[in-house]
Structure 1
Amino acid sequence: MGSKSTYQLSDQWLGKPRPVRVVVIGAGIGGIAAVKLFRERFKDRPTTLVIYEKNHDVGGTWLENRYPGCSCDIPAHGYTYSWEGNPSWSKPYVGAEELFDYFKSRAQAYGVFDHVHLNHRVIEAKWNGLKGQWSLQIEDITNSTIISDECDVLINAGGFLNKWKWPNIDGIDTYKGFLVHSAAWNPDYSFEGKTVGIIGSGSSAIQIVPNIQKLKTMVSFNRSPTWITPEFAAEFAPEGRASLFTEEQKAQWARSPNEFLKFRKEIENSGNKFFSLQFKNSALQEELFETSRAVMEKRLGGKKELASMMIPSFAVGCRRMTPGFGYLEALASDNATVRSDPISRITPSGIKMADGTQFALDAIICATGFDNSYRPAFPVIGENGKDLREEWRDEPRSYLSVAVAGYPNYIMATGPNFPLANGSLIACLEQTLRYAFDVVEKIQTQGVKCLSPTPEAVAEFQEHKDAMMEELVWTSSCRSWYKNGTINGKVWGPYCGSVPHFIELLSQPRWEDFKIQYESQNRFQYLGMGKTVREVTGGDLSWYVTEPGANQDNQAGG
C-alpha cells in the first residue's frame, strides 16, 4: 500500500476568482483607457485597480506639452479610443489644449478619478518572489513623503516619450539668457522681439519654428535632416491645416452614429495602410521619396543651398516624418538662419559653432527630445535582484513589447518595439492593456502565482524582429530616436509589422511562451470541488444546447 496523498482539494468552484490588486503607473491615454477596460471586465470580481500619476492632473503628454504649435499630426478622428469617437472636434488637426480637454473628459466619464492618486511618483518597484507581489515605493509629491504599496500585477503605462532631456552640449549651465525645453514649456516668457536659437529638428522643433520665426530673428540648429511630407490623411482635410468642421457637420455626426462610424473607419483604414510604405526599395517608398522631395523643394522656395542641407537622402520614415506646416517656409525666410554643422559649446551669451561662428541669443529653445532607451525612470528589481535599468543598459529586450523575462507579472503598455509609427497608435495601446488584463484574469482564476516570458521566447522574438527590421526603412542610414539616437543601431522604436498584425498577435496570449508558477504544488488545484459558477449560482446548465432559428434566450434551461 502506498502512502496517502497529502494533496488537499480546494473548496471552490472552477475558476473562482481570488482577490488581485493591480497598479497602473501613469494616467495618460493608457491609464485612462485602463480604467474603462478594467471596470468592464472585472466589475463583479474581487479586483482592485490603483493608478499612480506623477503630474497634478491626468492627460499625460497632452498635459505636459504646451509649446507653441503643439498639435496632433494625424486627423483627430483617428486619435480617439476605438470604442468611442468624438464628433465635436473643431478641426482635423487639433492642438494640445483641445486634445487634453478630450482625454480629461474621458477620464471623468470612465471614473478614472475614483482610482488615481495624483502627484504620486513611483520611485521603486521590487519583486517579492515569496509573496508573488510587487513591493512599491511611491513619493507623495505634495507632502514630500514616501508611502508603500503592494500589487499582484504591475502595469507600466508611463509612456515612451516621458523623460525629456537637455542636449549634451558643453557650457549649457553657463548660459545667462532664457533657456527652456520644449517638453517643459514656460508660457510666461515672451519671445516677441527676441533673437532666438532653436536646437533640434524633430517633430517638436518642426511645430515650434513657424511660431518663433515670425517674431524677430531665429537661428535653427539642425544636426540631422528630416523628411517633411504632405499632411497625413490629407484627403480628410481638403484645406490642410486651415480646415475646420462646421457646426452642421458636427451635429450631423452626433445624431447619425452609423455615418460617423463610417467616417472614423475610413480614417482608420487610411492610417493602417501606412505600414506598406515602410518597406525599403518598394514602389510605394520610391513614390513617397520623390513626392516628398518635390514638396520640400517647393516649400524652400528654390533655395538650393538650403535644400541640400534640409532634404534627406535616406528612406522616408527612417526618422519620424512630419508634415511640418509652415516649417520649411519659416527656415527659408530672410530673418532665419539655418546651421547643420556642429555646435562647439553654449556660452553665457549664446552658441559658438565648431568653425568659430558665434550667435548672440536672447533665448534658447531645446527641442531635443526624450530619453529613448526604454529604461525605466526608477529601479525595477525583478527575480534574483536584477534591476531592469541595468539589464537594458545596452539594449532593451522585450517579449512582443509587453513583457520581460525575469520580471514576473510586469506588463508594459508601450514597451520597446511598440507600434508607435506603424498606424493607429491608440488602438495598439488598447490592445496591450487588454493583454495585461488577460494576464490578470489568468492569475486570478487559474491558481497562478506569477508568470513571465521565458528567456528563449524573448531571444527568438528579438531575432525575428531584428531580421524583419532589415526589410524596413528604419534600418536605413539615418540618426533616429527609433534607434536611440544612433545611425546604424538596432531598432527599438516601431513594431516589426502592421497595426492589424500587432492587434491580432496580442489577441490570443501564447501562454506556452511563459514560465508559470502556481500557488499550489498542483497546477490543477483551481479545479476545486468539481462544480462551475453556473451550478453554484443556479445558472443555465444546458447553455451548450442550441437550435437553428430559435431564440436562444427563450429555450428550455434559459
Structure 2
Amino acid sequence: MATMPVTNGVSAHRDEADQLPKVPIHSERQMRVICIGAGASGLAFAYKLQRSFDNFSLSIYEKNLDISGTWYENRYPGCACDVAAHNYTYSFEPKPDWSSVYAGSEEIFGYFRDFANKYGLRKYIKTRHEVVGARWDPQTDQWHVQVKDHASGSVYEDFCHILVNAGGILNNWKWPDIKNLDLFKGPKLHSAAWDPSIDLDGKTVGLIGNGSSGIQLLPEILPRVKSLTNFIRTATWVAPPLRGIEQHKYTEQELSDFANKPGLLLEHRKKYQTSTSGVFNLFIKGSETQKLVRDTMEKHMKAQLQDPDLESKLIPNWSVGCRRLTPGIKYLESIKKDKVNLVISSVTEFTPTGCKCANGNEYNFDVLVCATGFDVSFRPRFPLLGRDGKNLQDIWQKESKGYMGVGAPDMPNYFVMLGPNCPIGNGPIMAAIEAQADYILKWCDRWQTENIRSFTPKWEAVEDFVAHSDRFMQSTVWTENCSSWYKGNSVTGRVSALWPGSTLHYLETLAQPRADDYDVVYKGNRFNYLGNGFSQTETDLTSDWAYYIREKDDSEYLSKKKQRQILTKSGSKSGSAFKVI
C-alpha cells in the first residue's frame, strides 16, 4: 500500500477513516444517547432532543418508580416549591390551572407527568433502572454504562456515544451524620423519604432542621402532634414572599381568564419571571437592594415574633441570601405556640428515647423527623471512569471543579445538568435547565454531523473558569460566615453550587459554545465531514436551491449585541439602565 511522507514523526497512512466519504456535507450518523434521571432536567433534554434531531436513540434510566425526580420523592406534609408555580414551568409549556401561586409537590409532579405524556417521552424512559457505573472506551469512542434493574436485581451493560447526567442535586437525601442514630427506638422520618403510615397524632416529635423542608414541615404537622421540639444549629432568614408574588389561591375567575383571555397568562408569567430575575442584585455585598431587603426582612421577622429573646436567637447577623431564601409561610407564627420548644443547639448524639445536645441537655420524643437535606457534593453516585481511567468521584473528592455547570475534566462526551457552579440559586432555574439542554444539543449536533470522536473540557479552561468564579464570589454575600449547601454544607468552603452571575447572565454565556475550551479529537481527517462535495440542500428536491436570493437583507445579525437586542426585544419597554455594582 502506498504511503505518504512522514511529518513530525507521524505516518500519514491513509486508512479507511481517511477515504473520501460518499455522502454530502453534514450527513448525520446514528447517535446513541443515555440520560441519567427523568426529573425536570432529563425531561427537558428528552423533549428538545426529540424536537430537533433525527437518527438517534435515547435511553433514560430513572431509579424511582416514576418520573419527576425530586417532586416524586418529596411528599412530606407542606412540601411545595419556594418558586412561584408560573415560574416553575418550561418556557414554552405554561400551565393555566395552577391552583395557587406556590404549588404543592403533588401538583408539580402532575405537571411533569403530563408533560412527559403529552410529548410521548415515556417511550425513552425505563423506571426502576439505576445507573451504577460508567466507563469510557477510547477504542470505540463510547461509554459503557452499567445499569441495575431494580425489579430483577440484575445488572446489565448498555452503551452510548453521549452520556448526560441529569440525576439532580437535591434528591440524594441523607440521614444526619450524628452519633448513635440507630439507638433511637422510635419511628424515624426523613423529609425526602416520608412514610405517611407513621402516625404523628398525639405524639411528641423531635424535628431537626430549619432549612426549606423544616420551615415547611413544622406548621403542617404541628396541629396533629402533642408537642414538637425543633432543633436548629443556627438562625436563618425566614423570608416573606417577594412583593407581588405572595401566596394566593387563584379564584375560578382568574383560572378562567388565564385559560381564555389571549395574552393574559403570558403577561402574568412574564411579570413573575421579571420579578425573580430582578432579585440578583440582592446577592451583591453592600448593594442598595441588599440593604433594603435586609431591613424589610428584619422588620418582618420582628413583627411576626414580637419577642426580643426569640428575635436575638432567630435573626441572623449575616446577609440575606447567604443561604437559600425560603418563604416561611406560618413558620414564625407557629414556633411561638406553647407546644413548640425551640432548641438552638447542635444535636450531638441520639439516645433510645431522644437525643443529647451541645448545650448539655437531653430531650425525649416519640418520633424523630429529620429535615437535614441532601448530599450536594456533586460527586457522581457511581464510578465514572473517563479519560485514562480517571474516576470523577476521585477528581471531585475534595472540590467539584467543573466547566460552566455542564462539563467535567477528563470526561469525554459527558455532560452534567445542574453541575458545579450552575445558577441553581441565582434566579429562574427552569430557564437555566433549558439553556443547558440547548448547549448540550449543540455539541450533539457537531458530533452527529462532523467526524468527531470525542470532545472534553480542557483542564486549563476548567481551572480558569473556577478561578474566575472564585474571584467573583468574593463580591457576593454567599461567602459570608453562614453554613450553606451552596458551600457543601460548610461555613467557609468554596461556593461550588452557584453561577458567578445572574441567570440571564448564564443564558447569554451558554448561547454559543466555546469550542476552544475543549480537546476535540477527530476520526481521521477533520475535514472528512465535507463529504462528496454536494450540499444537503441538493439532496432535498423539495427545497429552494436559491434560498439565499431575496429582495432585502433579512439575515440574522452577526454581533452578539445585535442578536441579543432582537432576541430580548430591546427598546420595547421603558425603564432606566441597570446599575452595575
Measured against the shorter chain, the TM-score band is over 0.9
Is the 1:32–1:110 Cα contact (8 Å) retained in structure 2? no
Matched, 1:143 2:165: no
Gaps of 5+ in 2: 6-12, 555-581
State the alpha-carbon separation in 2 of the partners of residues 158 and 549 from structure 1: 45
Counterparts of 2:428 and 2:262, CA distance in 1: 21
Q: Is the 8 A contact 1:35 1:110 kept in 2?
A: no
Task: Confirm whether residue 547 of structure 1 aligns to residue 551 of structure 2.
Answer: yes
* 1:223 partner amino acid: R
Question: How far apart are 1:549 and its partner, in Å?
Answer: 9.9
Secondary structure (helix, strand or coil) at the match of 2:265 reads: helix
**Where does residue 224 of structure 1 map in the other structure?**
234
Structure 2 equivalent of residue 554 of structure 1: none
CA distance in 1, matches of 2:234, 2:205: 19
Distance 2:174 2:469 in 1: 28
Equivalent pair of 2:87/2:269 in contact (CA under 8 Å)? yes
State which of 361, 368, 374 in structure 2 corresponds to 1:357.
361
Letter in 2 for 1:379: P
Measured after TM superposition, the shift of residue 279 of structure 1 is 0.2
Is contact 2:232-2:346 (8 Å) kept? no
Letter in 2 for 1:536: T
- What is the match of residue 328 of structure 2? 324
Q: In 1, are the aligned partners of 2:230 and 2:342 still within 8 Å (CA)?
A: yes
Aligned to 2:565: none
Q: Report the alpha carbon displacement of residue 155 of structure 1 after superposing the two structures with TM.
A: 0.6
Kept in 2, the 8 Å contact 1:140–1:146? The answer is: yes
Determine the structure 1 residue equivalent to 2:392.
388
**What is the CA–CA distance in structure 1 between the aligned matches of 2:464 and 2:4, rounded to whole Å?**
44
Q: Judge which range, 312-321 or 205-214, deviates more.
A: 205-214
| Alpha-carbon separation, structure 2, partners of 1:389 and 1:281 | 37
Correspondences of 1:283-322 after superposition (within 5 Å): 283-300=288-305, 302-322=306-326
Instruction: Give 2:284's match in structure 1, choosing from 279, 286, 289.
Output: 279
Out of 178-187 and 213-222, give the one that drifted further. 213-222
Alignment-derived partner of residue 533 in structure 2: 530
Q: Counterparts of 2:19 and 2:552 in 1: how far apart (Å)?
A: 44
Map 1:120-135 onto structure 2 (within 5 A): 120-135=129-144
Aligned-partner Cα distance in 2 for 1:295–1:216: 29
The answer to whether the 8 A contact 1:35-1:111 is kept is no
The secondary structure found in structure 2 opposite 1:92 is coil
Runs of 4+ in 1 over 4 A off after TM superposition: 1-5
Distance 1:129 1:226 in 2: 49
**For the residues of structure 1 that align with 2:385 and 2:467, how far apart are their CA atoms?**
25
Q: Whole-Å Cα distance in 2 between the matches of residues 63 and 33 of structure 1? A: 16
Q: Number of matched residues?
A: 541
Q: For 1:298-447, what aligned pairs fall within 5 Å after superposition?
A: 298-300=303-305, 302-447=306-451
Deviations along 1:203-249, whole A, 9 cap, x unmatched?
000000112233320101001211111113x4144xxx3x2112222
TM-superposed CA distance for 1:2, in Å, is 9.6
Among 23, 41, 64, the residue aligned to 1:12: 23
CA distance in 2, matches of 1:2, 1:66: 67
**Counterpart of 2:469?**
465
Asked whether the equivalents of residues 228 and 296 of structure 1 are also in contact (C-alpha less than 8 Å), the reply is: yes
The equivalent residue for 1:26 is 37
Deviation per residue, 1:69-101 (Å, 9 max, x gap)? 100112111111101110011111111111111
Q: 1:516-554: CA deviations, max 9, x gaps?
A: 00121x10011011111111222322111111399xxxx
- Following superposition, the deviation at residue 256 of structure 1 comes to 2.6
Give the TM-score of the pair, scaled to structure 2.
0.91
Does the alignment pair 1:268 with 2:273?
A: yes
Question: Any conservation in 2 of the 1:49–1:115 contact (CA below 8 Å)?
Answer: yes
Aligned match of 2:573:
none
1:103 corresponds in structure 2 to: 112
1:65 match: 74
* SS of match in other structure, 1:548: coil
Residues 3 and 292 of structure 1, relative CA distance in 2, 3 Å threshold:
closer
Q: SS of the residue aligned with 1:414?
A: coil
Q: Residue 247 of structure 1 corresponds to which residue in structure 2? A: 252
Deviations 1:111-139 (Å, cap 9, x if unpaired)? 11111001000000111111111000000
Counterpart code for 1:229: A
Alignment map for 1:94-243 (pairs within 5 Å): 94-214=103-223, 215-232=225-242, 234-237=243-246, 241=247, 243=248
Question: Can you list the C-alpha shifts for 1:446-481, whole angstroms capped at 9, x where unaligned?
Answer: 111110111110010001000000011101111111
Match of residue 478, structure 2, among 474, 479, 489? 474
Code of the aligned partner of 1:140: D
Question: Aligned partners of 1:413, 1:257: CA distance in 2, in Å?
Answer: 34
What does residue 519 of structure 2 align with?
Answer: 515
> Would you say the 8 A contact 1:212–1:218 is kept in 2?
no
Contact 2:205–2:229 at 8 Å: present in 1 too?
yes
- SS of the equivalent of 1:154 reads strand
Post-superposition offset of 1:494: 1.5
| Structure 1 position 76 matched with structure 2 position 85 | yes
Question: What is the CA–CA distance in structure 2 between the aligned matches of 1:186 and 1:473, rounded to whole Å?
Answer: 37
Query: 1:555 aligns to what?
Result: none
Alpha-carbon distance in structure 2 between the residues aligned to 1:2 and 1:176: 78
Q: What residue is the counterpart of 1:492 in the other structure? A: 496
- Mapped to 2, the partners of 1:397 and 1:374 lie a distance apart of 9
User: SS in structure 1 opposite 2:526?
Assistant: coil
RMSD between superposed Cα atoms in Å: 1.5
Partner of residue 572, structure 2: none
Stretch of structure 1 that moved more, 245-254 or 115-124: 245-254
Unaligned runs of 5+ in 1: 551-558
What is the alpha-carbon distance in structure 1 between the residues aligned to residue 144 and residue 4 of structure 2? Answer: 40
Asked if the contact 2:77–2:220 (Cα under 8 Å) also holds between the matched residues in 1, the reply is yes
Match of 2:577 in 1: none
Give the direction of change, closer, same or farther, for the CA distance of 1:3–1:70 in structure 2 (3 Å limit). closer
**Aligned residues with identical type, % of pairs:** 39
Letter in 2 for 1:479: S
